[in-house]
A and B are shown apart, each in its own frame.
Chain A
Amino acid sequence: MRQVLSLFVSLAVVLIQLLSPHRIVRVAVASPRPRTDPRQVLAIIVNRSNPAENLSFAELRKIFLGERSRWPNGHRVVVTMMESGNSERETMLREVYHMNENGYRDYFLKGTYTGDIPASPKTVSSPVILRKFVFNTPGAIGYLRASDVDGSVKVVSIDGRLPDAFDYKLRIEGPAK
Chain B
Amino acid sequence: MNTQTKRVTGRPSAVVLGARTLLSRLFARHSVALLLLLVVAVEVGLGVFVMRDLLTTYSQVDRIYVISVQGLHRIGELQYEAQETRRTTLYALTTNDGNLQVEYADQSRGADRLVAEGIAQYLEQARMPQAIEVGKRLANDWNAYLKVRDDVLGLILESSAEQAVDEDLTSGVSLFDRVRQDLEEIKRLYDEQASQQLALVTRSSRRSELRLIGGFAFALLFASAAIWAIQRNKMHNAVQLAKLQVDFVASVSHELRTPIAAILCAGENFRDGFARRKEDLVEQGSVIVDQATQLASLVDQVLLFAATTAKPQYILRPLQVPEILASALRNTAAVLEKSEFTVEQQVQQGLPQVMGDLGAISQCLQNLILNAIKYSDGERRITLSARVDDSAVGEREVQISVQDHGPGISSSDLPRIFEPFYRSPQVVAAQIHGTGLGLSIAKRVIEAVGGRLSVVSEAGVGSAFTLHLPVARKDSQTDAVRTAAGPGELAT
Interface residues of A (CB under 8 A from B): 75-76, 78, 80, 119, 122-126, 129, 132-133, 136-140
Contact = CB atoms under 8 A, between A and B. Distances in A.
A122 B154 contact: no
A130 to B, nearest CB: 8
B-side interface size class: 10 to 19
A75 B155 CA distance: 10
A75 B150 CA distance: 14
A124 B102 contact: yes
B157 A137 contact: yes
B251 to A, nearest CB: 119
B108 to A, nearest CB: 9
Interface centre among B103, B105, B157 (most CB of A within 10 A): B157
Tell me whether chain B's interface is mostly helix, strand or loop, or mixed: helix
6 contacts: A78-B158, A122-B157, A132-B106, A136-B150, A138-B154, A140-B157
A119 B159 contact: yes
A123 B154 contact: no
B98 A136 contact: no
B153 interface: yes
Given A76-B160, A119-B159, A133 B98 contact: yes
B13 interface: no
Nearest to A81: B98
A64 B208 CA distance: 80
Q: Is the interface of A mostly helix, strand, loop or mixed?
A: mixed
Given A132-B105, A132-B106, A139 B158 contact: yes
Nearest to B106: A132
A133 B103 CA distance: 9
Interface string B87-112: 00000000000110111011000000
Instruction: Determine which residue in B102, B150, B153, B154 has the highest number of CB atoms from chain A within 10 A of its CB, and name it.
Output: B102
A123 B101 CA distance: 11
A136 B159 contact: no
Contact of A122 (B98, B105, B153): B98
A133 B105 CA distance: 9
Interface string B157-174: 111100000000000000
Contacts of B153: 136-137
Contacts of B98: 80, 122-124, 129, 133
Contacts of B106: 132
B294 to A, nearest CB: 129
Nearest to A80: B98
